Structure 1
């Protein structure tokens, strides 16, 4: 997994008021396989796990938008930072 930028973690922590560590993101990312990004059910599960970790509620419509965007862009499964940034925009 690529290194999570301090800026991304700081932004997430500031917005959520929680302390999400790089280690917790890495732990979650270690469960992600390349097939996760192609399997809609697994991708939805991952998005909900990220949402729970960040304590940011994500509506079903937002989950659907993220799933669609990931499938269209072929997002790299090791880039959790990009997924977290996408969720922060909602």
Structure 2
């Protein structure tokens, strides 16, 4: 993910949540993400929980299911995931 996109995402998350989000904490989470993690629903749920905790924003079960479905449909490639993130930030 390029630096401009990551800054855009960080700014969008901060704007949507109304809370500052630590770039460092999100990078730590992102560094642990691999294609294997994105294959497992349980691990995707854990990832959502970690990001939710870092942002200080609860995520409903319906939203978790929607995110899991979208991640699985993305084909697990980074381009698809970047597009997914952009789409979700527009919600």
Same fold per TM (> 0.5)?
A: yes
The alignment's TM-score, normalised by the length of structure 2, stands at 0.74
- Give the unaligned 5+ runs of structure 1: none
Could you tell me how far apart the structure 2 residues matched to 1:47 and 1:77 are?
A: 17
| Structure in which a larger fraction of residues adopt helix | 2
Deviations 1:11-52 (A, max 9, x none): 222332322132221111112121011111001110111111
Match of 1:42 in 2: 43
Superposed CA RMSD in Å reads: 2.8
2:56 is matched with which residue? 55
TM-score, length-scaled by structure 1: 0.75
